[in-house]
A and B are shown apart, each in its own frame.
Chain A
Amino acid sequence: MFLRFSNRVIVCVLLFVFGQAIAADWSGYGAAEYRGFTQSTLDNDQFDSGSVSLSFEPEFYHSWNGGDDSVAFVPFARWDEHDPERSHVDIRELVWLHVAQDWELRVGIDKVFWGVTESQHLVDIINQTDMVENLDGEQKLGQAMLNVSLIKGWGVLDVFVLPGFRERTFPGKGGRFRSIPEIDDHTFYESAAKDKHVDLAVRWTQTFDDWDVGVSHFYGTSREPRIMPSPTLASLVLVSFYDIIHQTGLDVQATLDEWLWKVELIHRSGQGEAFNAFTGGFEYTFVGVLDSAADFGVIAEYLYDDRGSDPAVAFDNDIFVGGRLAMNDAASSELLFGIISDVNDSTRFYNIEASRRFGNSWVLSLEGRFISAGSKGDPFNSIRQDDVIQLELARHF
Chain B
Amino acid sequence: MKKIGLLLLILSSVFAYAQTPEEKGREIAIEADKRDNGFANSSSKMTMTLKNANGDVSIRKMRSKTLEVHGDGDKGLTIFDHPADIKGTAFLSFTHVLDADDQWLYLPALKRVKRISSKNKSGPFMGSEFAFEDLSSREVEKYAYLYIKDEAVNGEDAFVIEVRPNYKYSGYTRSVVWISKEKYQPLKIDYYDRKNSLLKTMSASGYQQYLGQYWRPDVMVMANHQTKKETRLGFADYQFKTGLSERDFNKSSLKRAR
Interface residues of A (CB under 8 A from B): 27, 29, 61, 63, 70, 97, 99, 101-102, 104, 111-113, 116, 138, 149, 151, 156, 205, 207, 209-210, 212, 253, 255, 257-260, 283, 285, 287-288, 293, 295, 328-332, 357, 360-361, 363, 394, 396-397
- Contact A287/B83 with A138-B110, A330-B50 known, Cβ cut-off 8 Å: no
Q: Measured between alpha carbons, how far is A259 from B115 in the docked complex, in Å?
A: 11
User: Which A residues touch B119, using CB under 8 A?
Assistant: 257-258, 285, 287
Cβ-neighbour of A61 out of B115, B123, B258 (below 8 A)? B258
Q: Measured between alpha carbons, how far is A386 from B119 in the docked complex, in Å?
A: 39
Given contacts A97-B256, A360-B59, 5 further A-B contacts (CB under 8 A): A27-B87, A253-B115, A260-B117, A285-B120, A396-B83
B117 & A255 in contact (Cβ 8 Å cutoff): yes
A396 & B169 in contact (Cβ 8 Å cutoff): no
- Which of B16-24, B67-75, B178-186, B245-253 lines the interface with chain A? B245-253
Cβ-neighbour of A361 out of B83, B122, B123 (below 8 A)? B83
Interface contact tally, CB-CB below 8 A:
102
A111 & B111 in contact (Cβ 8 Å cutoff): yes
User: Which B residues touch A156, using CB under 8 A?
Assistant: 250-252
Cβ-neighbour of B85 out of A97, A255, A288, A363 (below 8 A)? A363
Q: Measured between alpha carbons, how far is A77 from B111 in the docked complex, in Å?
A: 19
Interface of chain B residues 201 through 258 with chain A (CB within 8 A): 247, 250-252, 256, 258
Interface of chain B residues 101 through 152 with chain A (CB within 8 A): 102, 110-113, 115-120, 122-124, 127
Q: Measured between alpha carbons, how far is A70 from B256 in the docked complex, in Å?
A: 10
- Contact A260/B115 with A70-B258, A295-B120 known, Cβ cut-off 8 Å: yes
Interface of chain B residues 70 through 97 with chain A (CB within 8 A): 82-88
User: Which A residues touch B123, using CB under 8 A?
Assistant: 287-288, 293, 295, 328
Closest B residue to A149 using CB positions? B252
Q: Measured between alpha carbons, how far is A49 from B64 in the docked complex, in Å?
A: 48
Q: How large is the interface on B (under 10, 10 to 19, 20 to 34, 35 or more residues)?
A: 35 or more
User: Which A residues touch B87, using CB under 8 A?
Assistant: 27, 396
Shortest beta-carbon distance from B52 to chain A in Å: 7
User: Which B residues touch A255, using CB under 8 A?
Assistant: 102, 115-118
Q: Measured between alpha carbons, how far is A27 from B61 in the docked complex, in Å?
A: 15
User: Which B residues touch A293, using CB under 8 A?
Assistant: 123-124, 127
Closest B residue to A355 using CB positions? B85
Q: Measured between alpha carbons, how far is A293 from B52 in the docked complex, in Å?
A: 14
**B33-57: contact bitstring with A at CB < 8 Å (1 yes, 0 no)?**
0000000000000000010100010
Q: Measured between alpha carbons, how far is A257 from B117 in the docked complex, in Å?
A: 6
- Contact A104/B247 with A293-B124, A396-B87 known, Cβ cut-off 8 Å: no
User: Which B residues touch A112, using CB under 8 A?
Assistant: 111
Shortest beta-carbon distance from B96 to chain A in Å: 10
Q: Which of B59, B85, B110, B258 has the most CB of A within 10 A?
A: B85
User: Which A residues touch B111, using CB under 8 A?
Assistant: 111-113
**Is B165 on the interface with A (CB-CB < 8 A)?**
no
The main secondary structure of chain B at its interface with chain A is mixed
Cβ-neighbour of B58 out of A27, A29, A212, A360 (below 8 A)? A360
Q: Measured between alpha carbons, how far is A209 from B94 in the docked complex, in Å?
A: 11
Q: Measured between alpha carbons, how far is A285 from B83 in the docked complex, in Å?
A: 26
Shortest beta-carbon distance from B166 to chain A in Å: 16
User: Which A residues touch B88, using CB under 8 A?
Assistant: 27
Shortest beta-carbon distance from B109 to chain A in Å: 9
Q: Which 4 A-B pairs have the closest CB atoms?
A: A396-B84, A396-B85, A258-B119, A113-B111
User: Which B residues touch A212, using CB under 8 A?
Assistant: 115
- Contact A394/B85 with A111-B111, A112-B111, A151-B250 known, Cβ cut-off 8 Å: yes
Closest B residue to A103 using CB positions? B252
**Is B100 on the interface with A (CB-CB < 8 A)?**
yes
Q: Measured between alpha carbons, how far is A346 from B123 in the docked complex, in Å?
A: 39
B115 & A288 in contact (Cβ 8 Å cutoff): no
Q: Measured between alpha carbons, how far is A149 from B252 in the docked complex, in Å?
A: 9
B84 & A29 in contact (Cβ 8 Å cutoff): yes
User: Which A residues touch B124, using CB under 8 A?
Assistant: 293, 328
Q: Measured between alpha carbons, how far is A259 from B116 in the docked complex, in Å?
A: 9
Closest B residue to A63 using CB positions? B258
Closest A residue to B120 using CB positions? A287
Closest A residue to B193 using CB positions? A291
Closest B residue to A99 using CB positions? B256
Shortest beta-carbon distance from B86 to chain A in Å: 7
User: Which A residues touch B118, using CB under 8 A?
Assistant: 255, 257
Closest A residue to B247 using CB positions? A101
Shortest beta-carbon distance from B163 to chain A in Å: 21
Q: Measured between alpha carbons, how far is A91 from B250 in the docked complex, in Å?
A: 28
User: Which B residues touch A63, using CB under 8 A?
Assistant: 258
Closest B residue to A28 using CB positions? B84
Closest B residue to A115 using CB positions? B112
